[in-house]
Amino acid sequence: MLRSVILAAARSQKVERLVETAPVSRDVVKRFVAGSGTGEALAATRQLADAGLCITLDNLGEDTLTAEQANATKEAYLELLAALGHAGLTAPKEGGGGVTVATAEVSLKLSALGQAFDEQLAEKNAREICEAAAGLGTTVTLDMEDHTTTDSTLDILSRLRRDHPGTGAVLQAYLRRTEGDCRELATAGSRVRLCKGAYKEPEHVAYQAPLEVDKSYVRCMNILMAGEGYPMLATHDPRLIAIAQDRARWFDRAPDEFEFQMLYGIRPEEQTRLARAGHTLRVYVPYGTEWYGYLMRRLAERPANLAFFGRALISKK
Ligand SMILES: Cc1cc2nc3c(=O)[nH]c(=O)nc-3n(C[C@H](O)[C@H](O)[C@H](O)COP(=O)(O)OP(=O)(O)OC[C@H]3O[C@@H](n4cnc5c(N)ncnc54)[C@H](O)[C@@H]3O)c2cc1C
């Protein structure tokens, strides 16, 4: 219920203005977002890399409505990739079970590159970013957004993969279709991020009960771990992490043949613990000024974060 209210607020421009202008928002945002520009993103990446973690960077922004905005997002990614390359953060790591696993890569939302009004433009922009990434030895992962975009995103992914096979997919366990998509994508060299899913989706396309989503996650994980691709298990859920470690033993996957992923600012001690235990742990690092939609999804996932927001508000009064 609370999750639905927050996700509905995520689409309200009135609430957006209110939250964006509240002075307290800055403190809350700092916990989940690495900064507003390339310099701050680079500094956060360096710090995480020095702690033995891998990184995927997201230039915040979604639902772009003009070609100019889409172009500006593309340029921001090109600037970021050049800076990462210059800093020596894009070199592929050892291992990876036959796929490119770089210290730092980028994640992008096709909606930020124009998908909603011109799919070809979004694909062209994404292709340019993939080319720049490949030139520096690193990769791109296409974030997955709400279910109305799933087919379009997977179609664009398959075309990008013809030239850039390392391009990563994201599949959401809450969607009823996802077991089938996992089977399709569990092929040699295929990087697939599995997450629970962060959008408000209708019952006919998505499981609603958390237990049903968790069970679907395990079924999907089994398919990916048994397959020939490179699973990227994106979750903070301790039970799912333990099951993943068990499946890795069962399917005889070495630690460099899959990775865990978590969000910047969420369970940081667990991130370091898993990396020290020999796993590849990649942190999803968002940066930029358009943090509203991202922040609201993080608040919706955990009411305790709402309390954190409330406490910060009170302490400012
Ligand atoms: C690397 C990465 C990339 C992602 N990419 C996408 C994407 O492309 N598309 C998409 O729809 N979703 C994406 N997500 C979000 C994902 O779908 C979930 O909404 C989110 O990860 C929460 O699910 P969970 O698996 O951590 O489990 P949950 O059941 O939400 O949480 C399990 C436990 O993790 C901790 N936790 C979880 N969330 C928070 C939080 N916000 N604050 C504090 N603690 C928390 C708590 O201890 C909680 O009990 C991504 C997530 C990650 C980690």
- Along the 317 residues of the chain, how does pLDDT read in single tens digits? 667 766 776 666 666 666 666 665 667 778 889 988 999 999 999 999 999 999 999 999 888 999 999 999 999 999 999 999 999 999 887 666 678 799 999 999 999 999 999 999 999 999 999 999 999 999 999 999 999 999 999 999 999 999 999 999 999 999 999 999 999 999 999 999 999 999 999 999 999 999 999 999 999 999 999 999 999 999 999 999 999 999 999 999 999 999 999 999 999 999 999 999 999 999 999 999 888 888 888 888 876 777 666 665 555 44
Nearest Cα residue to 31 out of 261, 233, 268:
268
Report pLDDT for 317: 40
Does residue 157 have its Cβ closer than 6 Å to ligand 1?
Answer: no
**Cβ atoms 33, 264 nearer than 8 A:** yes
State whether the beta carbon of 309 lies less than 6 angstroms from ligand 1.
no
Longest dimension (CA), the chain: 56
C-alpha 301 to ligand 1 mean position (Å): 7
Residue nearest to atom 53 of ligand 1 (CA): 262
From the centroid of its chain, how far is CA 188?
Answer: 22
Note the pLDDT of residue 30.
83
- What amino acid positions are annotated as catalytic residues? 143, 193
Long-range CB pairs of 252-258 (<8 Å, 24+ gap) are 253/97, 253/225, 254/95, 254/97, 255/279, 255/280, 256/94, 256/95, 256/96, 256/97, 256/101, 256/280, 257/95, 257/96, 257/97, 257/230, 258/97, 258/225, 258/230, 258/231, 258/232, 258/233
Residue 12, helix vs strand vs coil: coil
Instruction: Give the ligand 1 atom nearest the CA of 298.
Output: 41
- Residue 155 CA, ligand 1 centroid: distance in Å: 25
Mutation test residue for ligand 1: of 48, 174, 236, 243, the one with most atoms within 8 Å of CB = 236
**The predicted structure's pLDDT at residue 98:** 73
Q: Which stretches does DSSP call E strand in the chain?
A: 54-59, 104-108, 140-142, 169-172, 191-195, 230-234, 259-263, 281-287
**Taking the model in full, what pTM does it have?**
0.92
**Cα four-point dihedral sign 299, 58, 279, 194:** positive
For residue 36, how many other CB atoms are within 10 A of its CB? 15
Distance from chain centroid for Cα 149? 16
- H helix or E strand, kind and range, residue 226: helix 210-226
